[in-house]
């Protein structure tokens, strides 16, 4: 009799004592129970390993591994080899699942067996309250062959994704050099082999936003996005995909210029027009960035204020 679980849940954790209990409890509360959990402590200096081991002592489905600090990608890679499930699910230690998450995705796969990437909508969450959802517009929800859209946006929250083992094996390891965009790189490599996406429109996970997270990470994220796209262009690509990657890279380089300008708006607003001009030069088809440059040349005008607010909201 094969007693291997259908699903292997991979949870990397680094100094996560404040959040790991919530993540593990949310897995234990799944209505679908035929899973294993592999927690990888990524060189934590707090009590994360002991906390994870306490859960493992009380629940035989949970296993805990330990490694020197190498980042979330390295921790996920460590867990993939011993994982026994036909399906691999990812959950970051600071996020949580709603109880029906795995069951809904397994039911979806039964209805759509050719799907090789499953995901769900998710709530944006501050640890207590939901304040939005990833896909509020049903017309923008990815479905089926979403490969071209994926070249321009990371469409899937890592903590919602379930992959078939063979899909992950064909794509290879998470790239530890691409944090914090290593998940996007993985989905792109899968897409280049043929992507058929199915998602649950109902939010079935909560993605935790920490205070000041967006402003702290936007430049880093923009730089990582550029590295992901440059890596993709170094791989053999058919002409139409290569063109899309090149255009996405232009946009990403413009986004980096605007992300760098964001913290200067309050202390040096005169830097914004030059940043908008540099962004437009990266991607001349984005004429709105050129218009932003001209609008921001008058720092005290209403038009400059509109440009500043747009940059602050997005970057």
Residue appearing with tokens 């002991």: 50
20: nearest Cα among 43, 53, 61, 59: 53
Give the model's confidence band at 315: pLDDT under 50 very low, under 70 low, under 90 confident, else very high.
confident
pLDDT higher than threshold 50 for residue 74: yes
Could you read off the pLDDT of 163-211 as tens digits, one per residue? 999 999 999 999 999 999 999 999 999 999 999 999 999 999 999 987 6
Residue 114's Cβ-count burial label (10 Å; 0-12, 13-18, 19+) is exposed
How distant, in Å, are the alpha carbons of 14, 48, 234, 255 from that of 92?
10, 13, 29, 26
Chain centre to alpha carbon of residue 71? 14
Higher-pLDDT residue of 55 and 210 is 55
* Contacts of the segment 281-287: beta carbons below 8 A, 24+ positions apart: 282/250, 282/251, 282/253, 282/254, 282/257, 283/247, 283/250, 283/251, 283/253, 283/254, 285/247, 285/250, 286/251, 286/254
173: nearest Cα among 100, 76, 238, 292: 76
The residue ranges of DSSP E strands in the chain, in sequence order, are: 7-13, 35-42, 62-67, 87-90, 96-97, 117-125, 130-133, 162-164, 197-208
Mean pLDDT comparison of 121-125, 145-149, 245-249, highest-scoring range? 245-249
Sign of the alpha-carbon dihedral angle for 249, 255, 144, 26: positive
Could you read off the pLDDT of 258-313 as tens digits, one per residue? 999 999 998 899 999 999 999 999 999 999 999 999 999 987 889 999 999 999 98
pLDDT at 212: 53
pLDDT at 2: 58
pLDDT higher than threshold 60 for residue 213: no
Give the model's confidence band at 1: pLDDT under 50 very low, under 70 low, under 90 confident, else very high.
very low
Give the model's confidence band at 160: pLDDT under 50 very low, under 70 low, under 90 confident, else very high.
very high
Could you read off the pLDDT of 8-35 as tens digits, one per residue? 999 999 999 999 999 999 999 999 999 9
Top CATH class, 7-208 = alpha beta
Residue 1's Cβ-count burial label (10 Å; 0-12, 13-18, 19+) is exposed
Mean pLDDT estimate for the chain: 94
Domain extents in the chain: 7-208, 213-314
Give the mean pLDDT of 91-107: 97
Residue appearing with tokens 């050129």: 290
d(CA 251, CA 267): 26
pLDDT at 209: 84
pLDDT at 215: 38
Residue 104's Cβ-count burial label (10 Å; 0-12, 13-18, 19+) is buried
Residue 101's Cβ-count burial label (10 Å; 0-12, 13-18, 19+) is buried
């Amino acid at each position: 009799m094969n007693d291997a679980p259908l699903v292997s849940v991979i949870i990397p954790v680094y100094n996560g004592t404040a959040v790991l209990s919530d993540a593990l409890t949310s897995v234990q509360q799944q209505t679908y129970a035929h899973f294993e959990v592999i927690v990888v402590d990524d060189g934590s200096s707090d009590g994360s390993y002991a906390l994870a081991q306490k859960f493992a002592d009380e629940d035989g489905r949970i296993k805990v591994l330990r490694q020197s600090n190498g980042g979330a990608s390295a921790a996920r890679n460590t867990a993939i080899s011993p994982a026994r499930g036909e399906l691999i699910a990812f959950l970051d230690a600071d996020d949580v699942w709603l109880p029906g998450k795995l069951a809904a995705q397994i039911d979806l796969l039964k209805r759509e067996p050719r799907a090789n990437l499953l995901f769900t909508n998710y709530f944006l969450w501050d640890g207590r309250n939901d304040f939005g959802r990833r896909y509020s517009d049903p017309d923008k929800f990815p479905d089926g062959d979403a490969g071209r859209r994926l070249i321009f946006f990371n469409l899937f929250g890592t903590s919602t994704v379930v992959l078939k083992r063979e899909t992950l094996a064909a794509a290879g390891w998470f790239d530890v050099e691409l944090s914090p965009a290593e998940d996007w790189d993985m989905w792109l490599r899968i897409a280049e082999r043929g992507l058929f996406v199915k998602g649950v429109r109902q939010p079935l996970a909560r993605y935790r936003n920490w205070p000041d997270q967006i402003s702290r990470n936007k430049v880093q994220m923009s730089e990582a996005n550029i590295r992901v796209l440059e890596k993709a262009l170094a791989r053999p690509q058919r002409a139409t995909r290569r063109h899309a990657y090149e255009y996405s890279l232009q946009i990403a380089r413009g986004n980096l210029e605007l992300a760098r300008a964001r913290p200067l708006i309050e202390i040096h607003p005169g830097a914004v027009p030059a940043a908008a001009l540099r962004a437009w030069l990266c991607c001349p088809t984005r004429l709105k960035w050129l218009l932003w440059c001209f609008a921001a040349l008058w720092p005290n005008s209403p038009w400059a204020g509109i440009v500043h607010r747009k940059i602050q909201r997005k970057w």
